[in-house]
Amino acid sequence: MKVLIIGAHGKVGRLLIDELQNKQIHFVAGLRNEEQIKAYQAEDIATQYIDLTAPIAEIKNSIEASGADTIVFTAGAGGAGYDLTMEIDLDGAIKTMDVAQTLGIKRYVMVSAVYSDDPSKWEASGIRPYYIAKHYADKYLRSTNLDYTIVHPGMLTNDDAVGKINIQSNYEGGSVPRADVAKVITQALETPSTIKKDINFVTGDEDIVSAVR
């Protein structure tokens, strides 16, 4: 396995790097910012320039150059405006799915959000366009021939990892540290039974390995 982390400089992406290093899983950090690339390379982290706003042909070249056979999409506009949210979280995500299928990359893990499948909650969230983007990106992913897993963590915190979660059929409330989200992604990559599945989870009482399996 060689994982391309798209959005490797985000909070979850950086923690995922730590997890993959601990598991000795090969990966490439997908980054858009040249300063971030230099900083990661200074830590001996393999990097790949990728711009999700670029034409799909350029994205294809970037993903192909990474040599990855697995993609984790954890990129996001991060509150930079609704136009960019649609361009990154929806259009950018879909372009990577199309490229993955073109290149024969099968495994694809999407970091989504709670309520992405529940439009009744979008308006009250105050970030309705973000949920629209995540909803349709998830829906498109399910329609592909990719071996996908979509993770829907509860409210994210920066607390230390707990290592235990509860998997819910739908989001019923609760939070989870970003560090545990990284652990869930890593475990999903190592667990074939998560293919074609959505995983909704919050901090709970079952260890992550057992819960994901």
The residues annotated as belonging to the active site are 130
**Count of other CB atoms within 10 angstroms of residue 23:** 14
Checking DSSP bridges between strand 175-177 and strand 206-207, what pairing results, if any? unpaired
Dist. CA 95–CA 92, nearest whole Å: 5
Q: Which residue has the tokens 């290149």?
A: 103
Are the CB atoms for 24 and 8 separated by under 8 Å?
Answer: no
> Cα angle vertex 48, ends 42, 52, to 5°?
130
Spell 84-100 as b/e; 16+ CB within 10 A means b: bbbbbbbbbbbbbbebb
